[in-house]
Amino acid sequence: MAQLSGKSVYLTGGASGIGKAVTEAFVKEGAVLTVLDKSIAGLNQLKQQFGDSVQCIEGDVTNYQAHADAVRLAVEAYGKLDVFVANAGVFDGFAKFQTVTPEAMSNAYDILFDINVKGYFNGAKASVEELKKTGGNMIFTVSGAGFYPDGGGVWYTASKHAQIGLMRQLAFELAPDIRVNAVAPGGTLTALNVISPLQPFVKTVDNETKEKSIKSRNPLRIAMSSEDHVGAYLLLASDNARAITGEIISSDGGLSVRGLG
Ligand SMILES: NC(=O)c1ccc[n+]([C@@H]2O[C@H](COP(=O)([O-])OP(=O)(O)OC[C@H]3O[C@@H](n4cnc5c(N)ncnc54)[C@H](O)[C@@H]3O)[C@@H](O)[C@H]2O)c1
């Protein structure tokens, strides 16, 4: 039997990158998905690709009501909610704290924390009651930047640490009803956006340079694609993970075994 047969999943940021790859993998394993994203073009493509297996909602994760509407639609369409995947996010482009003006620092903080951190709070809050009914689970997309410096600048790194704190506290508070876990991808070839206040302070990097840099930084020498991470999400979402909560699966080419050299 398919790993997620009949599971109803609510996922944010599914119109592109890692969220899109997870959507595809979950559909293949028998799930139906409700996807919230701000990109109408991306959502239209997703709908074309997956038809009745997904319903798409255009909205912003910083707005609690968008999540509440998405959860209501998931339950109306599929009768229940089994899994919430918090994934939509933005990047700071490795902007250096010392070179950014105080105004840009403050604006960047408001925008990036609103999306990366409050977006996860909002989605968790909106889905908690329905997940309690099904004994479901939440999965947060975090990052190697949630453990180590130099996976981004201060805004991104601090936001990823905050997501891990939220995940661990929720795993504690929501047990025994709901499992809460995370996947920490390493550098991945996606279109992850740098927020506008920091754009004047960062260099744009072409894909070839990005690929080389990602490869050189992890021991397995992999320039990861979104599809490389889906196995971790499939496991955590499935009933095979019924004893796992408060955990983070790193899918990063082995960043933790870089050694001292
Ligand atoms: N790409 C990497 O190297 C990498 C590494 C580790 C973790 N991650 C994390 O993976 C997650 C997905 O990023 P990705 O790399 O696939 O990037 P991506 O840009 O391809 O996908 C992000 C999606 O989120 C959506 N989104 C952004 N802001 C939104 C908002 N305010 N409201 C609704 N939707 C919004 C975008 O439209 C997009 O479809 C993020 O949490 C990111 O931090 C990425």
Q: Is the CB of 195 under 6 A from ligand 1?
A: no
| Residue 260 domain-assigned (yes or no) | no
Q: What residues act catalytically? A: 156
10 Å Cβ neighbour count for 52? 8
Q: What is the predicted pLDDT for the residue at 1?
A: 78
d(CA 47, CA 113): 29
Q: Is the CB of 245 under 6 A from ligand 1?
A: no
| Residue 257 domain-assigned (yes or no) | no
Residues near 158 by Cβ (< 8 Å), separated by ≥ 6? Answer: 113
| Residue 181 domain-assigned (yes or no) | yes
- Name the token pair of 195: 């927020």
Q: Which domain holds residue 90?
A: 8-251
Q: What is the predicted pLDDT for the residue at 204?
A: 87
Q: How many CA atoms lie less than 13 Å away from 151 in the CB half-sphere?
A: 23
| Residue 209 domain-assigned (yes or no) | yes
The number of distinct structural domains making up the chain is: 1
d(CA 97, ligand 1 centre) in Å:
22
| Residue 151 domain-assigned (yes or no) | yes
Task: Point out the ligand 1 atom lying closest to the alpha carbon of residue 60.
Answer: 32
Alpha helices in the chain (DSSP H): 17-28, 40-50, 64-78, 102-113, 119-134, 154-174, 207-217, 230-237
CATH of residue 167: 3.40.50.720
Q: What is the predicted pLDDT for the residue at 135?
A: 98
Q: Is the CB of 157 under 6 A from ligand 1?
A: no
Q: What is the predicted pLDDT for the residue at 178?
A: 98
Task: Point out the ligand 1 atom lying closest to the alpha carbon of residue 193.
Answer: 19
| 261 residues of the chain, pLDDT tens digit each | 799 999 999 999 999 999 999 999 999 999 999 999 999 999 999 999 999 999 999 999 999 999 999 999 999 999 999 999 999 999 999 999 999 999 999 999 999 999 999 999 999 999 999 999 999 999 999 999 999 999 999 999 999 999 999 999 999 999 999 999 999 999 999 998 999 999 999 998 899 999 999 999 999 999 999 999 999 999 999 999 999 999 999 999 999 998 887
Q: Is the CB of 134 under 6 A from ligand 1?
A: no
Residues near 236 by Cβ (< 8 Å), separated by ≥ 6? Answer: 137, 139, 179, 181, 183, 244, 247, 249
Q: What is the predicted pLDDT for the residue at 64?
A: 98
Q: What values do phi and psi take at 60, rounded to 5?
A: -110, 130
Which residue has 């004047």 as its token pair?
200
d(CA 91, ligand 1 centre) in Å:
8
Give, using CA atoms, the residue closest to atom 41 of ligand 1. Answer: 89
